[in-house]
Chains A and B, each alone.
Chain A
Amino acid sequence: MGVNEARILVVEDDDNIRRFVRLTLQVEGYVVSEADTLRRGLIEAGTRRPDILVLDLGLPDGDGVALIRDLRGWSDMPVLVLSARGTEAEKIVALDAGADDYLVKPFGAGELLARVRAQLRRHLGQARAGGPLIRFGDVTIDAIKRTVTRGGDTLHLTPIEYRLLCHLAAHPEKVLTHKQLLLAVWGPGHAGDTHYVRVHMANLRKKIEKDAARPQHLLTETGVGYRFVGTPAG
């Protein structure tokens, strides 16, 4: 796997977890650097310029969310958050601050690698994106004609559904919170109406997905938001 020369920074205070993450990533060929405090992490991120940051939220010298906010001032590197507490509120705060994805402890090596790969793919993909067509499964979005087709048939999406789909498809593999989607589709002033997103997402799934109860592309992150997956992870 020669392509995996990406540099990864792991900021985690627990030695054992840090060792596990490092070993897992090194086996895949990534170049891993480590930090065990918030301050150290920020310095490493600034000097080494990693391609992806794996960040634990509960650090001894502060909250990981503060680091994300600092980082977003000067970098758009993907941030994968490791959360021990597993409460939705904490994840939402991290995601709204600029994190791209999260993993709840305990997690396995497979899950970690899948997320890291997805983030790297997205990051690299974004660099060369720009084409008018987005394809996933048998669905094609044509941003110029503003049409969505599935298996050759044109789907009749409402303007809101179209806009929702486009916004999700533009951020593959990234967890978008309800708040972020509301802001993108409905504009400011609707922050409390999270059921808007849910209702339209349910309708969109009925049109896009083969089985709306078991979606393949428009995945639910319970209590947090949604994630768009172009090609189902396999």
Chain B
Amino acid sequence: MSTDELRPDPDELLQQVQQEEARARRGRLKIFFGASAGVGKTYAMLSAAQVAQTQGVPLVIGLVETHGRAETQALVADLPLLPLREVPHRDRRFKEFDLDAALAFGQSHAGGPSPPLVLLDELAHSNAPGSRHPKRWQDAEELLAAGIDVWSTMNVQHLESLNDVVGGITGIRVWETVPDTLFDAADEVVVVDLPPDELLLRLATGKVYVPEQARHAAANFFRKGNLIALRELALRRTADRVDSQMRLWRRTNEAMWQNQPRWSTRDALLACVGPGSGGEAVVRSAARLAAQTNLPWHAVFVDAPSQQRVGDSEREQALRALKLAKELGAHTATPTGASIVQTLTRYAREHDLSRLVMGWRGRKRFWRPSLAEHLAAQTPDMDILQIPIPGPEGARRQVRQAAGQDSSSCWAGYFVVAAACALVAFLAMPLRGVLEQTNIVMLFLLVVVGAALQYGRKPAILAAFLGVALFDFVIVPPTLSFNVSDAQYLITFVVMLLVALIVGQLTASLRAQAQAATERERRVRGLYQMSRDLSAVLLREQVAEIASRFVRAEFFSKSALLLANEADRLELQPNATATVDIAVAQWCFDRGEMAGRGTNTLPACDCLMLPLKGPMRLRGVLAVQLTQATSLSPEQLQLLETCASLLAISIERIHYIQVAQSSTLQMETERLRNALLAAISHDLRTPLAALVGLTDTLATTHPLAETHAGIVAAIRESARRMHAQVDNLLDMARLESGAASLRREWVPLEEVIGSALAACAGLLGPRAVQVHLPEDMPLLFLDAGLIERLLVNVLENAAKYTPEDARIHISARLLETWVRVSIEDSGPGLPPGREDAVFEKFERGSKEAAIPGVGLGLAICRDIVEAHGGRIWGENRMAGGTVRGACIILELPRGNPPVEDGSQAADLGLGEDGSE
């Protein structure tokens, strides 16, 4: 065995990490699990809750059913209770768990040392109609997703995969179930166990149910045999769970190089669901098998044209079985194909499934090999497991007309077919002598073919029998009597009937296939048409219109499109025909899951909500108002999902078109602004340059009198100051137009300080400047020109406000992610209480100061630092209560300086050093 096979798959490890992360965000689910009612689950949960409360866990009882038991009620009294919500339904009012209140409780206690905890009894309970979720376990899921811990209780008979087993043991079928996935995903399962004798004793002493109910319940359910079996089931199921936890623990913790057997996905299961009632049994068996062997599994129902003979109700049953499979954790699909065997084989091979689980009705026709035998012949490498399932309840499978025809047109079909047979008989009567009897038989067969083509299978059967009867009655001598003169005619009748039936069946199935093909083609054409329309649109409103047209054409339904705005709130688009509950739509959008009719979330809503998932993010919600009460078939759902993703893609495309347009506009604006700034810069600086230069010329070329020399110097100084202001204004305009204009490079700070000092050497005059930088000063990612500018402005400011003998000290300190540069002086300091105000525009230290300058200098400093992602502020250096001077502090991000300094990169072996 090569080492490669033992090495963990990186994708798998990544998935594990992601799962752990997701788990860390989710709340933790703890289930108190028992064999039957009365073992003390609620009591155990409440006792544990009391302990948790003393430890300071913020908890609340969402709902607890005490069944009037005194001990339990005593425990409830000490714990905080969440008030129940009243749900009116018809003329009754139900008291239900208040999910929103629990979520609000969770939110108010989020972020504390221990996460908030909600106690929720009876996980399998069904909520009153009109609640957000049909089942309480879905409420628990939502709480967990919101990061709230949930403790709950459940009995073994409520586990979905064991539901039928328990039903078989106790004879009582429970309809409230919890999916196994939830049970398996629970963080902790606590088994609350009580020996059956003790339970019966408790029952007898009335500690379990109130006395008048006890006898009735005991007779039906609490038989000792039942209780032993249930206890075994509960313990074994928990043992399975612990076992898989153990394996998971070993997988994650043991050294990977140890010779661990690893399951390959080739062993995965495929549950083949047939039409009719057997599907659920197959699904449950496959789920149990998958759970025991810890394998992933798929469940499929093949929608082959030969299945057209399958009635609507049987198909419905198969689809229900698939839905159950999905809840039990399977991948489900309804592949289509001409032959069931081929479709199944193809699906199994595509998904690497090597074990097929299928039903077996125990009734075998010797002339027709069963599906399993067919499959076994085709795929000798696959295991096929057959699960015995009870035969259909009715004596015969009901054969019904293909969908799309209501009963009235069906009866019309029978009538027309009967009339056509009668007409042929009537016309053939006078031609008895003229035509051969064989030709008359042909006429009847023609009617059968016509009936099959026009009305399908059953009218064709009627036509076949009616044709034979009329042929006998009208044509075969003696005429107008069912008597037959020649016994040979019996063969004619039998053959004629057989031929008519076979031709009729063939024609009808041809018609059904043609219809199915037409239907598929129509759908594909609809989708194609829609995608073509969508590819041309440029506005969201057009998308909405196309969506509403498509849904109307394909589903005869009203619809609405809701798109998210910048704040992720949904907005109804024009052209909406359906009435939408925005809250449901928002829920669907926030979770990215389907909601509304036909789903597990808010099924009472009129509309089915589909999230529009674009490649980058969710874009909105498509709401379809379903008129018929039945849920959509998988193909229809798939069609809707395809439609939703097409819509999402085109909305995303429109979004990016808009982004592109706006950024083009922005670029154009930027370009214009830069051109304008450059022009202003040139036009302002040129005359100033002439002014400065010409005053110089005046001073140097002609010896001037002292007063004139003073005037010339004043003109020169004013021009220089004006130039400085122009520079400040232009830089400010540039900086405020965005940080995009920075030319950042990795620069040593010392170099920038050095050039700043050189630039303002004249201004500083005799003031002593000291520079202290740490030895290990890293490179900083700066626009050197702008930072030099900043330092010059700060130093200029210091020079402006300090006496000539002042000292200036520049130092830097390395913080974790910042470099802090301080520029300290020994001047009068910043105005107290207004240390930061000096960085405002047009703000000067002291209002009446006789020092020139509008105060743009420091404001630009702040713009420069902020453009670099840093900050700047001022302080006064205090010593013994007196101001010793001002200190300007700027912090710049350290970033990740390049490690490579080119020491190795130079090509020193070549060329002559410095000799030119």
- A interface residues (Cβ-Cβ under 8 A, vs B): 14, 16-17, 19-21, 23-24, 27, 58, 84-86, 88-89, 105-110, 112, 141, 143, 146, 158-160, 162-163, 165-167, 169-170, 185-187, 190, 193-202, 212-215, 219-223
**Minimum C-beta distance from B727 to chain A (A):** 8
* Complexed CA–CA distance, A105 and B727 (Å): 11
Q: Which residues of A contact B754 (CB under 8 A)?
A: 212-215, 220
Which residues 689-716 of B sit at the A interface, judged by CB distance below 8 A?
689-694, 696-697, 699-701, 716
What's the interface size class on B, roughly? 35 or more
A222–B727 Cα gap in the complex (Å)? 16
Residues on B with C-beta less than 8 A from A214 are 754, 757-758
Residue in A21, A109, A187, A212 with the greatest tally of chain B CB atoms within 10 Å = A109
Decide if B753 is an interface residue (CB 8 Å cutoff). yes
Q: Is the CB of B689 within 8 A of A84?
A: yes
* Residues of chain B with a CB closer than 8 A to A159's CB: 906, 908, 913
Are A16 and B753 within 8 A (Cβ)?
Answer: no
Asked if B856 is at the interface (CB within 8 A of a chain A CB), the reply is no
Chain A contact surface mostly = helix
Is the beta-carbon distance between A220 and B901 smaller than 8 angstroms?
Answer: no
Query: Does the CB pair B901–A219 fall under 8 Å?
Result: no
Q: Beyond A170-B914, A187-B910, is A222–B693 a contact (Cβ under 8 Å)?
A: no
Q: Compute how far the CA of A193 lies from the CA of B904 in the bound complex, rounded to whole angstroms.
A: 13
Other contacts beyond A108-B692, A166-B913: 7, CB < 8 A: A14-B689, A24-B700, A106-B692, A170-B915, A195-B897, A198-B747, A222-B788
Contact of A202 with B750 in the complex, beta carbons under 8 Å: yes
Q: Is the CB of B752 within 8 A of A196?
A: no
Is the Cβ of A170 less than 8 Å from the Cβ of B916? Answer: yes
Q: B701 to A58, Cβ gap below 8 A?
A: no
Q: How far is the CB of A195 from chain B (nearest CB, A)?
A: 4
* Known A85-B682, A105-B686, A108-B693: A196·B914 in contact at CB below 8 Å: no
> Does B91 belong to the interface (CB within 8 Å)?
no
Question: Counting CB contacts under 8 A, is B751 at the interface?
Answer: yes
CB of A132 to closest CB in B, whole Å: 9
Does B642 count as interface, using CB distance less than 8 angstroms?
Answer: no
Whether B681 pairs with A86 at a CB distance below 8 angstroms is: yes
Interface residues of B in 654-685 (CB under 8 A from A): 678, 681-682, 685
B675 CB to closest chain A CB, in angstroms? 12
Q: What residues of A have a CB within 8 angstroms of the CB of B719 in the complex?
A: 106
Please judge, given known A-B contacts A109-B700, A222-B785, whether A160 and B689 are in contact too, CB under 8 Å.
Answer: no
Contact partner of B908 (CB less than 8 A), chosen from A163, A197, A223, is A163
User: Which B residue's beta carbon lies closest to that of A141?
Assistant: B914
Q: How far is the CB of A107 from chain B (nearest CB, A)?
A: 7
Given contacts A193-B902, A195-B746, contact A202 B685 (CB under 8 A): no
Listed in ascending order, the chain B residues whose CB lies under 8 Å from chain A are 678, 681-682, 685-694, 696-697, 699-701, 716, 719-720, 723, 727, 743, 745-748, 750-755, 757-758, 771, 773, 779, 783-785, 788, 897-898, 900-903, 905-908, 910-911, 913-916
Whether A195 touches B898, Cβ cut-off 8 Å, given contacts A106-B723, A213-B754, A214-B758, is yes
Instruction: State whether A143 and B915 are in contact (beta carbons under 8 Å apart), knowing that A106-B693, A202-B748, A222-B752 are contacts in the complex.
Output: yes
Question: Which residues of the partner chain A approach B788 to less than 8 Å between Cβ atoms?
Answer: 222
Whether B681 lies near A185 (C-beta < 8 A) is no
The B interface, classified by DSSP as helix, strand, loop or mixed, is helix
Closest approach, in angstroms, between the C-beta of A105 and any C-beta of chain B?
4
- Closest Cβ of chain A to B828, distance in Å, is 26
User: Smallest Cβ distance from A206 to chain B, in angstroms?
Assistant: 9
Known contacts A195-B746, A223-B743; decide if A186 and B916 are in contact (CB<8 Å). Answer: no
Q: Check B914 against A84 for contact (C-beta < 8 Å).
A: no
Q: With A186-B902, A223-B784 given, is the CB distance from A166 to B915 under 8 Å?
A: yes
- A47 CA / B268 CA spacing, docked (Å): 91
Is the Cβ of B745 less than 8 Å from the Cβ of A194?
yes
What is the bound-complex CA distance between A213 and B771, given in angstroms? Answer: 7
Contact between B751 and A220, CB atoms less than 8 A apart = yes
Q: Which of B688, B697, B906, B908 contacts A24 (CB 8 A)?
A: B697
Is the pair A199, B700 in contact by a Cβ cutoff of 8 Å? no
Q: In the complex, what residues of A have CB within 8 A of residue B700's CB?
A: 24, 27, 109
Distance between B726 CB and nearest chain A CB, rounded to angstroms: 10
Q: In the complex, what residues of B have CB within 8 A of residue A14's CB?
A: 686, 689-690
- Name 16 A/B residue pairs within 8 A (Cβ), A-sorted: A84-B689, A106-B690, A106-B720, A109-B699, A146-B913, A159-B908, A166-B914, A186-B902, A193-B900, A194-B746, A195-B779, A197-B902, A202-B751, A212-B754, A214-B757, A221-B755
Q: How far is the CA of A85 from the CA of B734 in the complex (A)?
A: 13
| Shortest Cβ distance from residue B776 to the other chain A in the assembled complex, whole angstroms | 13
- By beta carbon, the residue of chain B nearest A186 is B906
Chain A residues, CB < 8 A from B902: 160, 186, 190, 193, 196-197, 199-200
How far apart are A64's CB and chain B's nearest CB, in angstroms? 13
On chain A, the residues within 8 Å of B689 by CB distance are 14, 17, 84, 105-107
Please determine whether A222 and B755 come into contact, CB atoms closer than 8 angstroms.
yes
Point out the residues of chain A lying under 8 angstroms from B752, CB to CB. Answer: 222
